[in-house]
Amino acid sequence: MNELLPCPFCGCREITQAQREFNTYIEYTVECMNCNSLARHHYFNIAEFRWNERALPPDIDGYLRISPESKKWLAEPMED
């Protein structure tokens, strides 16, 4: 099992892995416990890969990286 990166949508680190059995196949899922986003596949290692492929790597201080342009935009006051 590989280490799972935080959720790419909300940054939550509480990630679950599950196996669901259906009549004709097995599905593996990796799911965020906060926002319920998920990655799934019929091979477990591919479900993990898909999850980590879309997750943003954490910055040094543990927060998600934000581009300098986005930081400027977020710092600007909203106009009425």
Query: Count of domains in the chain?
Result: 1
Task: Look up the domain containing 21 and give its range.
Answer: 15-75
Query: Is 4 a member of any domain?
Result: no
Query: Is 8 a member of any domain?
Result: no
Query: Is 53 a member of any domain?
Result: yes
Q: Model-level pTM? A: 0.59
**Residue 63 and residue 75: Cα distance in Å, rounded?**
17
Contact 8, 14 (CB under 8 A): no
Query: Is 6 a member of any domain?
Result: no
Query: Is 5 a member of any domain?
Result: no
Return the number of other C-beta atoms located less than 10 Å from residue 5's C-beta: 17
Per-residue pLDDT at 41: 85
Alpha-helix residue ranges (DSSP H) falling in 1-80 = 44-54, 68-75
Burial of 27 per CB tally in 10 Å (0-12, 13-18, 19+): middle
Query: Is 2 a member of any domain?
Result: no
| pLDDT tens per residue, range 15-60 | 999 998 888 889 999 999 998 888 888 888 888 888 888 755 555 4
Q: 10 phi and psi, to 5 degrees?
A: -120, -10
